[in-house]
Structure 1
Amino acid sequence: MTDDDFELSAPELSRDDLLVLDDPRFTRDTVAIVTGAASGIGRATAVALAANGLTVVGADIDDDGLAETERLAAAVDAEGKIDCVQTDLTDEDDVDAMVAAASDDGQLRYVANIAGMQHIDPISEFPMNKYDLLQDVMVRAPFVLSKCAMPHIKAADDGVGAIANMSSVHGHYATRDKAAYITAKHAITGLTRAIAAEGDGTLRGFSVSVGYVLTPLMLDQIADTAESRGISEQAVVEDVMLGQARTKTMMTPAEVANLFVFGFSQHANHLNGSDLCWDGGYTTTYE
């Protein structure tokens, strides 16, 4: 394949892509909050949980994207439903109001902190406003949402639930030019473990780490990395992103969403304070 032939696009989501499990708590009376629900992994996770029969509150600042997520849930004949709430995750009052609205929909048991962003620059040139924004969205917002949601989850009839945080292979190791993102993902490991420590065994905390996923955010990152390194987008994918992996394909958003479905289910009762690392060999192998 030549550079001229190289083209990537985010995949379409279908019902067949989704993991659907039998679980006594996967009903419309159970509420799950998903942040970043307007696109990518957040959208796929919201749809996957709705397909498992849950009531999902999708939170994002992008109202048009949230409407598309609701449309997609209907297109896959989800047994549950998605109620989207436009939310500025950097605004504590907004987050608190969103959680209150979610608790009115049923028993709030699950939270998926997925919203994320990226900026690529070396540390010496990294704009601090971008650094601060990344930390606000990917560290402070999950903390605030967990703080607001934990009392509701513990108040469920049996106190069973889970808070899941989107981590990354960059929560396990570092590469160049992504210092703010790497810092945030390492921090999320600490939050995950703190949730588990305070969850009394019934409210679990876990994280999900994956390599590169075909999302709109990733497509932008490919272009940015190509520009910053002076190489082609094909070289970014084949040499930079997949060069170290043993599985030579990118994950799809649905494959990541299925990890959240499993992690929330009764089949993952011992997943607590730990990380589901689906990385294709990034963090465990090298040449």
Structure 2
Amino acid sequence: MADPATVDFGADDVLVIGDDHFDAESVCVVTGAASGIGRATAAAMATNGLTVVGTDVDADGLASTKALVEDEMDAPGDVVTVEADLTDDDDLRAVVEEAATHGDVRYLANVAGMQHISPLEEFPMDVYDAMHDVMLRAPFLLSKLVVPHIRDTDDGVGAIGNMCSIHGHVATQDKAGYVTSKFGLRGLTKSIAAEGGGTLRAFTISTSYVSTPLVEEQIPDTADERGISEAEVVEDVMLGGSRVKEMMRPIQVANLFAFGFSKHGQHLNGDDMTWDGGHLGTYE
């Protein structure tokens, strides 16, 4: 069972969309599915009736996601879990191969991420390399592997959704590794769209801060780097530029993936769903 402290949603919170491709024969691969936005995205897509192949390095977290979706939420779609290291090419190939045994692989949600807070001149290169591999190289390779499966469907319809961030649009201090990967992810997305022929689409989702373990774990480090309190990090650094003074919930982001993958996202291709509470578009 999923830890109640990390799950704040149920079936009623999911955006359910009528779409001919949202059925058990369509497979959606979701990375980072053991927690946070990845867990919520797996839940949203399964609640929409798809077969979800969720992957993560955290096997226990994956089991919790499966139990949450199938037992507690009673979702109509199945969740298949595949433990994998996103820095291992063979593992990534195995994930897509497994997904293909469960139906038509039409959707890929690249959600998994990591963070490190450090000034550029002190940024550890081994950490940078790991961040690049998880947040940019893995989405690149998974997209490369999934694209042929989408093309081989009867109508070539499918989409790749990439979890970006306002940090894929603007930079803040002490997050050079994260910012670099997120800007690159937008370039990958546009490249997929350029080659997709219109029916195979790609998009990014850029949010401000979302209430996830990834965000919560960076609060103490940000406080130390800036010499401020943890409360000030949340109020001033994270939400200070936003007009909406609360973090998004993971399920709210997951619903954007469901919409973007659906027929209603037909003209969302190569571009970004900026859902940031007014963070980027307004100022005081």
TM-score normalised to structure 1 length: 0.96
- Identify the match of residue 44 of structure 2 among 39, 48, 51: 48
Partner Cα separation in structure 1 for residue 144 and residue 268 of structure 2 = 20
What code does the residue aligned with 2:42 have?
A: A
Partner Cα separation in structure 2 for residue 145 and residue 90 of structure 1 = 11
Per the alignment, residue 218 of structure 1 pairs with 215
Secondary structure at the aligned position of 1:85 is classed as strand
Per the alignment, residue 206 of structure 2 pairs with 209
Structure 2: 5+ residue runs without aligned partners?
none
| Identical pairs, percent | 59
Deviations 1:82-116 (A, max 9, x none): 00100111111110111011011000000000000
Per the alignment, residue 234 of structure 1 pairs with 231
Output aligned runs, 1:14-93, within 5 Å. Answer: 14-74=10-70, 75-93=72-90
Partner Cα separation in structure 1 for residue 236 and residue 7 of structure 2 = 22
- Identify the match of residue 251 of structure 1 among 243, 248, 251: 248
Match status 1:187 vs 2:184? yes
Match status 1:123 vs 2:120? yes
Per the alignment, residue 6 of structure 1 pairs with none
What code does the residue aligned with 2:197 have?
A: D
- Identify the match of residue 263 of structure 2 among 242, 263, 266: 266
Partner Cα separation in structure 1 for residue 36 and residue 237 of structure 2 = 21
Partner Cα separation in structure 1 for residue 134 and residue 11 of structure 2 = 30
Deviation at 1:230, TM superposition (A): 2.1
Secondary structure at the aligned position of 2:29 is classed as strand
- Identify the match of residue 13 of structure 1 among 9, 21, 25: 9
Contact 1:153 1:160 in 2 (8 A): yes
* Runs of 4+, deviation exceeding 4 Å: none
Secondary structure at the aligned position of 1:24 is classed as coil
Partner Cα separation in structure 2 for residue 77 and residue 246 of structure 1 = 36
Contact 1:36 1:116 in 2 (8 A): yes
Contact 1:36 1:60 in 2 (8 A): yes
Contact 1:27 1:52 in 2 (8 A): yes
Contact 1:244 1:282 in 2 (8 A): yes
Per the alignment, residue 162 of structure 2 pairs with 165
Size of the aligned set, in residue pairs, is 279
Q: CA RMSD in A?
A: 0.9
Contact 1:10 1:214 in 2 (8 A): no
Match status 1:114 vs 2:111? yes
Match status 1:134 vs 2:141? no
What code does the residue aligned with 2:74 have?
A: D
Partner Cα separation in structure 1 for residue 195 and residue 37 of structure 2 = 27
Partner Cα separation in structure 2 for residue 150 and residue 100 of structure 1 = 13
Deviations 1:145-187 (A, max 9, x none): 0011100111011110000101000000000000000000000
Structure 1: 5+ residue runs without aligned partners?
1-8
